[in-house]
């Protein structure tokens, strides 16, 4: 992808917010061109080394062709989804994703029944992004129907801007992706399939929480890019909300990690310490992601690159050192150390971009859920009950202490798509009125 889906959002967000559809159209064309170059280059590389791939992994030419289709359609889908996100008009996305997923499930059943084998499975996997990219293409085209004027922005100029912006995230992303995937691979090679499976389950739990935590930053990026005032305030509020989402869940899982891992089977209990160490990365990840998103919205690509490299390079190096010594726990330590170093680098960058972090709120978000989780685990309360108690108690105390304010929620919900944000704001206002009447 050469980082294009992320890099183009900064310019699309600004163009859509200013109503410059003609400029947005040029940026979309340029991003499609650059992405196509990446797809073609990757496809040629795969075909050139196809004999080595077959000798090493026994993947035949039919599977390679389907894999190339999967790569191309997945990249186009990601790019078009970024375009839709930049408009903040995403009401069609759930329908598109549901339709594509339904078709994929139906085809999967058919392919399993006829015994299609690995080729059929790969075709089924590729169907989802292919259908999604077609449907998203139709949606994107409707955005530019009303655009008849000609843009002053040149194709080469826009391509250069997008490419420069994309490199800031693409280089760390390559290292990060390699590092994340090296975790279970190195564990598999040095300690066997059992430990690799345990680590994979633990990391999957962390990845799920991370995805929920970072969704606001992903949506906010084009919105921040289109703002002329209030970026730093909004970035901090979104960072705070991300921490409020992730830390309470992380805290309770850390103290009940044996119960959570045991839910997958008794043999997975040994991975509880691995899960606990991985979850320690949630707080630093939330902070440096928010700071990096703000720096990106300003176009400070060197700062974004520095933060990305600070977290990804040490993490990848440590995998080779610690995994061989400690297995899955070593991989977890490497991952968390990378997050902490990313946090340190991002804090250095806050001085340059002028973002103010309210450490009182940040520390309360960190220690309040941790305190509740420790107390509940100390008295050996059932973990299901503890989850409910800890979440309710933490959020109520956040409200009482003013850690969460109505303005925080309004700003955070305001960057969501209108069909979601407006409904949530109306519900928030209705609850607020009822609470005021009760007092």
Q: What are the tens digits of pLDDT across the range 335-382?
A: 999 999 999 999 998 888 888 888 899 999 999 999 999 999 999 899
Instruction: Please report which helix (H) or strand (E) contains residue 432, including its range.
Output: helix 418-438
Segment 266-295, tens digit of pLDDT: 888 888 999 999 999 999 999 988 888 888
CA distance 319 to 330: 7
Q: How far apart are the first and last CA of the chain?
A: 54
Which tokens sit at 202?
């633990």
- Comparing C-alpha atoms, which of 353, 338, 337, 246 is closest to residue 304? 353
**359: CB partners within 8 A, 6+ apart:** none
Coil vs helix vs strand at 355: coil
pLDDT at 439 over 50: no
- Rounded CA-CA distance 206/187 in Å is 17
Q: For 11-23, what is the mean pLDDT?
A: 84
Query: How many angstroms separate the CA atoms of 56 and 75, rounded?
Result: 26
pLDDT recorded at residue 435: 45
Higher local confidence (pLDDT), 312 or 368: 368
- In the chain, the percentage of residues whose pLDDT exceeds 90 is 21
For the chain, the domains span 4-153, 167-390, 405-439
Q: Tokens at residue 253, please?
A: 């899982």
Q: At what angle do helices 4-17 and 155-191 cross, to 10 degrees?
A: 140
Could you report the per-residue pLDDT of 81-98, keeping only the tens digit for each?
A: 888 877 766 666 666 766
pTM of the model as a whole: 0.74
What 8-state DSSP symbol labels residue 151? P
What's the rounded mean pLDDT across residues 397-406?
A: 84
Residue ranges in 88-154 assigned as alpha helix (H): 93-113, 117-143
pLDDT tens readout for residues 403-430: 887 766 666 555 555 555 555 555 555 5
Q: Which range, of 23-27, 195-199, 300-304, averages the lowest pLDDT?
A: 195-199
Tens digit of each residue's pLDDT (9 = 90 or more) over 162-178:
998 888 878 877 876 77
**What is the Cα–Cα distance from 255 to 286, expressed in whole angstroms?**
20
């Amino acid at each position: 992808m050469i980082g294009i889906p992320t890099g183009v959002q900064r310019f699309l967000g600004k163009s859509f917010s200013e109503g410059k559809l003609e400029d947005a159209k040029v940026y979309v064309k340029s991003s499609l061109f650059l992405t196509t170059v990446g797809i073609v280059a990757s496809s040629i590389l795969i075909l050139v080394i196809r004999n080595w791939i077959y000798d090493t992994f026994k993947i035949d030419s039919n599977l390679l062709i389907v894999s190339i289709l999967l790569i191309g359609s997945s990249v186009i889908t990601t790019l078009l989804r970024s375009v839709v996100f930049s408009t903040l008009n995403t009401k069609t996305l759930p329908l598109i994703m549901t339709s594509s997923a339904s078709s994929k499930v139906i085809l999967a059943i058919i392919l399993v029944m006829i015994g299609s084998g690995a080729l059929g499975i790969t075709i089924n996997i590729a169907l989802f992004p292919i259908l999604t990219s077609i449907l998203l293409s139709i949606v994107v085209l409707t955005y530019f129907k009303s655009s008849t004027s000609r843009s002053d922005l040149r194709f080469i100029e826009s391509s250069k801007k997008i490419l420069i912006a994309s490199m800031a995230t693409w280089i760390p992303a390559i290292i990060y992706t390699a590092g994340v995937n090296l975790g279970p691979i190195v564990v598999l090679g040095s300690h066997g399939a059992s430990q690799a499976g345990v680590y994979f389950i633990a990391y999957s739990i962390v990845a799920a929480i991370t995805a929920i935590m970072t969704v606001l930053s992903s949506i906010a990026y084009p919105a921040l890019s289109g703002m002329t005032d209030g970026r730093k305030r909004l970035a901090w509020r979104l960072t705070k909300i991300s921490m409020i989402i992730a830390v309470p869940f992380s805290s309770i899982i850390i103290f009940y990690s044996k119960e959570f891992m045991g839910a997958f089977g008794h043999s997975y209990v040994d991975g509880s310490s691995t899960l606990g160490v991985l979850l320690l990365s949630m707080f630093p990840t939330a902070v440096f992601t928010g700071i990096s998103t703000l720096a990106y919205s300003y176009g400070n690509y060197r700062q974004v690159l520095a933060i990305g490299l600070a977290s990804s390079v040490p993490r990848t190096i440590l995998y080779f050192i610690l995994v061989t010594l400690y297995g899955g726990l070593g991989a977890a330590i490497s991952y968390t150390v990378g997050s902490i170093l990313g946090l340190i680098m991002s804090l250095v960058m806050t001085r340059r971009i002028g973002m103010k972090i309210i450490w009182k709120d940040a520390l309360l978000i960190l220690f309040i859920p941790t305190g509740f989780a420790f107390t509940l685990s100390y008295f050996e309360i059932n973990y299901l009950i503890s989850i409910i108690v800890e979440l309710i108690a933490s959020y109520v105390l956040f409200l009482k202490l003013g850690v969460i304010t109505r303005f925080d929620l309004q700003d955070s919900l305001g960057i969501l798509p209108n069909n979601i944000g407006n409904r949530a704001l109306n519900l928030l206002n209705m609850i607020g009125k009822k609470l005021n009447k009760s007092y």
